[in-house]
Amino acid sequence: MSWNRVIGQKQQVRVLSNALEKGRLAHAYLFSGPEGSGKEMTALELAAALNCRSPDAMSNGACGTCPDCLQIREFMHPNVEYLFPVEAALLEGGDSQKKDNKKFTEARERFLALIEKKKENPYFSPAMDRSMGILTEQVVALQQKASFMPREGTRKVFIISQAEKLHPSAANKLLKLLEEPPAHVLFVLVTARPDSLLATIRSRCQEIRFQRVPAAELRTWLEEHSPEIVDPELGFIVNFSRGNLKLAWELIAGRDEASSEPATIAIRQMALDYLRKVLAPKRFHEALTASEEHAKNLSRTELVLFIGAILLFLQDTCHRRIVPGFRNLNNPDITDAVDRFAKNFPNPDYLGVSTLAEESIRAIERNASPLLVMAAFTAALRPLLWRA
């Protein structure tokens, strides 16, 4: 049944499916845990189980094929509300006169584009660029929707994505709802940063903590879901995404089936060429030029991959340096290159490289200028690798 769509998180699913079967669901849950661990996927499956037409949905999970299940996957089910940070222009279309205005129409298009993206990648967290967070008007609309009863035998489910972005006044409105929750409504708040929530909201929810998906489970899932992906690409996706399904999904979706070489492996090759330039005493200017070109030509996701590939490679060299026969490498297909590096550069500052890479990735993800980040990365990387 469709609980199987949730990857890993066995304990978490067991808690929920037991509560569902025994009719003992809490009124409000807080799904916390790292990005890409499947919190929203689980929330949607729970919503589906509560609204599915299959007679054994409560005991076995949603069928995944009935009209209700399909509507939920399309984000069109009348019982399921999915909230995420939107821009104010979207909410100004309340009366018909304003509804015609251009600002609203454009905001609506951006909103629908995000929903489409969410349908393509169930691990994606949508948020509109010009958003101030989840707004009061959105929670007021929930309040109104809560006042209508759902069809008999079903339950409304309000899923609040990125709950840490609730605007303070929206959070207070939501708190009122949580204090006297209507029996026919289930709230699921989702966040990767539970500490940023109001303590009063948190205390009203039963918290379920999600974990990063272990590498072995991610590999098994990938083998079943995308059998066309094989090693070394498969290994790269597993290692690079580090249990983050959102990342893994992006890597799969970004694959160019027509190209002879998988994009991930091509980027790894680019990263290793670049690394060679960084390390060669007289080619540093080439490294800078290469970093500039990559910053211009690669997308943000690809740049993150690029830096990630360097990190994974250096991790391998560190392992082989400490344990020469170490087998569980991120890049088992290029062991020679790993060993050569480990021999020629015996003393890099691995901790420094790791911190630098993580910071650069974060900066790129937060819309910093790729050119500046890559130049700074290149300049800082060299002394970390060239330690006497």
- Site residues for Zn ion per CB under 5 A: 52, 54, 62-63, 66, 69
Smallest CA-to-CA distance from 36 within 232, 200, 174, 221 is with: 221
In order, the DSSP letters of 37-71 are SSHHHHHHHHHHHHH--STTHHHH---S-SHHHHH
CB of residue 55 vs Zn ion: minimum separation in angstroms? 10
For Zn ion, give the closer residue by CB, 41 or 198: 41
CB of residue 224 vs Zn ion: minimum separation in angstroms? 22
CB of residue 153 vs Zn ion: minimum separation in angstroms? 13
For Zn ion, give the closer residue by CB, 66 or 198: 66
CB of residue 2 vs Zn ion: minimum separation in angstroms? 8
For Zn ion, give the closer residue by CB, 51 or 315: 51
- Contact assessment for residue 151 and residue 120, using Cβ atoms and an 8 Å cutoff: no
CB of residue 359 vs Zn ion: minimum separation in angstroms? 45
The burial class, CB within 10 Å (0-12 / 13-18 / 19+), for 366 is exposed
Q: Cα 69 from chain centroid?
A: 23
Angle between helices 284-297 and 370-385 (to 10 degrees): 150
For Zn ion, give the closer residue by CB, 5 or 300: 5
For Zn ion, give the closer residue by CB, 52 or 338: 52
Q: Phi/psi class of residue 329: alpha, beta or left (left: φ > 0; alpha: ψ in -120 to 50)?
A: beta
CB of residue 13 vs Zn ion: minimum separation in angstroms? 17
In order, the DSSP letters of 163-206 are GGGB-HHHHHHHHHHHHS--TTEEEEEEES-GGGS-HHHHHTSE
Question: CA separation (Å) from 247 to 152, 221, 254?
Answer: 39, 14, 10
CB of residue 154 vs Zn ion: minimum separation in angstroms? 11
For Zn ion, give the closer residue by CB, 154 or 172: 154
CB of residue 3 vs Zn ion: minimum separation in angstroms? 12
Strand, coil or helix: what is 345?
A: coil
Beta bridge partners of 208: 31
Number of C-beta neighbours around residue 159 at 10 A: 24
The tokens of 92 are what? 């100004």
For Zn ion, give the closer residue by CB, 63 or 342: 63
For Zn ion, give the closer residue by CB, 62 or 163: 62
CB of residue 313 vs Zn ion: minimum separation in angstroms? 45
For Zn ion, give the closer residue by CB, 75 or 124: 75
The tokens of 266 are what? 């091509």
For Zn ion, give the closer residue by CB, 50 or 139: 50
CB of residue 73 vs Zn ion: minimum separation in angstroms? 10
The burial class, CB within 10 Å (0-12 / 13-18 / 19+), for 259 is exposed
Strand, coil or helix: what is 241?
A: helix
Most distant CA atoms of the chain, gap in Å: 75
- Contact assessment for residue 238 and residue 215, using Cβ atoms and an 8 Å cutoff: yes
